[in-house]
Structure 1
C-alpha cells in the first residue's frame, strides 16, 4: 500500500486533489499540509480539516499542518480568494464543528515527522510551491532515504510561463516563481522528481462540458463538492484553466495515466528570469509529464469520487 504525504497551497485544484486522496482505494494518506500560496492559508487549513471530517473514506488518522513558509513572490490576491468561498460551502459546514485537529508542528517539520514515522517508503505529492520540502531537507536531509518519489506541479520547460508581474519576464510558472531558491534546493537533492509543468496538461482544460458532466453526477457528495468548487473559477476566453494539480495527484495514484520523458532541468534564481526552469545538460535529471490519457483520467476520477 502506497503511503502518501500531501502538501498543497489551497486553491480549488488543490482541494479537489485532497478529495481524491481521501477517497482513493489502496493508499494510506499519512499527512496533509497547506502553504500560503495560491489560496489563503487560514481558509485552506479549515477547509482541509472539514474535508477530512466528511470524506475520509478509509478512516486514515489525520491532522492538517499549517506552513509558516513565506513567499519570495506572492500570488495575486485575486487568484487566492476562492479558498474563502470554498470553505463556506454548506456541504462542508453542516455539522457546525470541526473534529480533525490542526497539527502541532509547522508543515516542514510535520513532513519530517510523518515521513520518519511512516511504516514504509513515502510518496510526496506537492501541488503548490515546493518550499516546505526544501526546508525539510535543510532541517533533516536523512528523510531522502524514505521518500520514494516526489510528484510536483510546478515549472515550465518550454519557455512559456503564467506570471505577469513587473519583476518578472513572463517565462516563469507561479509555483516556481513563489520561491526559486527552494526549487534549486530540491533540484540539488538526490530525490526522484516527477514534474507536471504548464505544458503537461493540454488535454485537460476546464470546460463547460466538464462542468455539466459534474453537475449531472451531483447526487454523489464528493462530485457535488467538485462541481461547486470549480463553479468559483471564471473562464476567461483564450485563458483556459487546465487541471495541473489534479493531474499531478492522479499520476501519483495511477502512473499509467501519463506519458513522460527524462530531462535534465535547472532553475534561474535571480533577476527578471528568476523562477524560470529550463533544460540544462548539467542539471538535475527529472521525469517530466508530456501527455495525459484524457478518457482514462476522467473515468478514474469519477470512479474514485462515486465511492461515497
Structure 2
C-alpha cells in the first residue's frame, strides 16, 4: 500500500486526478491540499469535497480537504481558472446536497506537515500545481523530508519551450513554475527525491476530439461521465494551442511507472528576470528523475480502467 499526499490547484485535470487516485486499490490517500492557482481555490475545494463524497471507496480512512493560503507571484489567467466554478456546479456532484467531506482545520502547507509526519510509512507526494505549499512546509519543518519517499511534480520543461505568454516573460517556462519560481528553487535545494513531469512528456498526451468521443460513448460509467463533462469545459482557442492531460499523467505515473520512460538529469531553476521559472539542464544542478516519454495508448487505457472501477 502506497501512502500518498495529493496537492493540486483545482482545474479540470487536477480534479480528474483526484477521482482517479481514489480508485487506485493500493493507494492510501492521506490528505488533499488545494492551491489558488490554475483554478479558484473555493470552488476547487468544494468540488474536491464532492468528488471524495461520491467516489471515495469503502474502507478508506476519512479524508478532509485543506485549503491553501499560498499566494501567487504570477497568477494564472482568469479565463483558465473559471472552469473550477463550472465543475463544482455539475449536477452529478450536487444531487446529494451539501458536501460531507470536511475542510481541514489547517491551511495546506501545515496540513501537509501534519499528514506526512503522522504517517507510519514514507509518503509519496504528488503535486500537480505550484510547489508553494511544499516550500513553505519545508521552511516550517525541514524534517518532513525524512518521511517523504519521493515528490512527483507536474511542472517545468527542459526543452526551453514553455507555455507562458505574459508580458516580461520569454516563454521558456511552464506555468506551475512561473507561479512561484522561488518555491521551485526551495524544493530543488532540498534533499527530496524529485520526479519531474514537464511539458516535454505531457505534450505526448493531448486531449483530442477522438478522446472526448471515447468518453462520451462510455458515459454509462459515472466516473467516465464526469471526466467527459469535465473536459468539455476546457478548450484551447489560441493559435496552435492544444490542451494536454498534464496532471493526470503525473498522477498515474506516480503509481504506474511502467507507463513512462525516464532519465536522470541535473537541473536548476531561474528565479528572476525574463526567464523567471525556467527549469533547465546543467552540470552544476541537482539530480532529478525526468520523465521523457509516455505510452499514450496504455495511459488512456489506464484512465478508463480506473474510472470504470468506480462503478
Residue 122 (structure 1) aligns with? 123
For each residue in 1:105-137, what CA deviation from the matched residue of structure 2 results, as whole angstroms up to 9, or x when unmatched? 000000000001112010000000000000001
For each residue in 1:227-277, what CA deviation from the matched residue of structure 2 results, as whole angstroms up to 9, or x when unmatched? 000000124352111111100000011011100011111011111111111
Residue 18 (structure 1) aligns with? 18
Residues 110, 137 of structure 2: 8 Å contact kept: yes
Residue 288 (structure 1) aligns with? 290
| Superposition CA RMSD, Å | 0.9
Residue 179 (structure 2) aligns with? 178
Partner of 1:138, secondary structure, is helix
Q: Does 1:225 pair with 2:226? A: yes
Residue 192 (structure 2) aligns with? 191
Residue 111 (structure 2) aligns with? 110
Residue 263 (structure 1) aligns with? 265
* Matches of 2:203 and 2:274, distance apart in 1: 27
Residues 235, 243 of structure 2: 8 Å contact kept: no
* Cα displacement (A) at 1:298: 1.4
* Matches of 1:119 and 1:64, distance apart in 2: 20
Residue 238 (structure 1) aligns with? 240
Residue 78 (structure 1) aligns with? 79
Residue 46 (structure 1) aligns with? 46
Paired residues, number: 308
* Matches of 2:195 and 2:248, distance apart in 1: 14
Q: Does 1:210 pair with 2:246? A: no
Unaligned runs of 5+ residues in structure 1 are none
* Matches of 2:162 and 2:204, distance apart in 1: 18
* Matches of 1:160 and 1:248, distance apart in 2: 19
* Matches of 1:174 and 1:305, distance apart in 2: 28
Partner of 1:128, secondary structure, is coil
For each residue in 1:185-241, what CA deviation from the matched residue of structure 2 results, as whole angstroms up to 9, or x when unmatched? 000000000011111123210000000000011111111000000000124352111
Residue 55 (structure 1) aligns with? 55
Choose from 295, 299, 303 the match for 1:301.
Answer: 303
Unaligned runs of 5+ residues in structure 2 are none
Partner of 1:182, secondary structure, is helix
Residue 2 (structure 1) aligns with? 2
Partner of 1:289, secondary structure, is strand
